Amino acid sequence: MSQSQATPTAFAQLMATIEDRKANPPERSYTTSLFQGGVEKIGRKILEEANEMVEAAGEDGDAGRNHFIYETADLLYHMFVMLGQRGVKLEEVEAELSRRFGTSGLDEKAARTQKGDSE
C-alpha cells in the first residue's frame, strides 16, 4: 500500500471535514455559516481571498512568502467549501485536471470557446 493510500492527504482530510459539516452542521462553525449563506456568501469569500492571495504574492522576502502561503490556504479552503456546497467531490476535480494533461492549455481553452459558440 502506498503512503498516499495509508494516510489521506491534507486536501482529502479537509474535504471530508467540510462534507461532514454540511451533512452534520454544528451550530458554532464558520463552515456552517458559509453553507447557510449559500453560493453568494461563499463566492464573496472566494473573491476576497483570491484578491488577498494576489496581493500577498507581490510581497517580498520570507514574510511575504509566508503570507502568500497563508492566503493561498484560505483561498483553497473557501474553494473546497464551494465544492461542498455544490456537492462536487474533490476526486471529480482531480479527474478533470488529469483529463487535461497532455493538452496544451491554449488548445483546451480554444476547444471550450468553439464548443460554446456551437451551442
Cell of 41: 456568501
Q: Is 101 in a helix, a strand, or coil?
A: coil
List, in sequence order, the alpha helices (H) in the chain.
3-6, 10-23, 30-57, 61-86, 90-100, 105-118
Rounded average pLDDT over 15-29: 95
| Per-residue pLDDT, 100 | 86
Query: Looking at the domain assignment, is residue 52 inside a domain?
Result: yes
Query: Looking at the domain assignment, is residue 58 inside a domain?
Result: yes
| Per-residue pLDDT, 1 | 46
Query: Looking at the domain assignment, is residue 26 inside a domain?
Result: yes
Rounded CA-CA distance 91/73 in Å is 19
| CATH number for the domain that contains residue 48 | 1.10.287.1080
Query: Looking at the domain assignment, is residue 3 inside a domain?
Result: no
Rounded average pLDDT over 94-118: 76
Query: Looking at the domain assignment, is residue 43 inside a domain?
Result: yes
Packed helices 61-86 and 90-100: angle between N→C axes, nearest 10 degrees = 110
Per-residue pLDDT tens over the stretch 77-88: 999 999 999 999
Q: Which of 78, 69, 70 is nearest to 48 (CA)?
A: 78
Query: Looking at the domain assignment, is residue 19 inside a domain?
Result: yes
With beta carbons less than 8 A apart as the criterion, state whether 21 and 32 touch.
Answer: yes
Cell of 69: 502561503
Domain of 27 in residue numbering reads as: 8-90
| Per-residue pLDDT, 101 | 85
Domain tally, the chain: 1
Query: Looking at the domain assignment, is residue 2 inside a domain?
Result: no
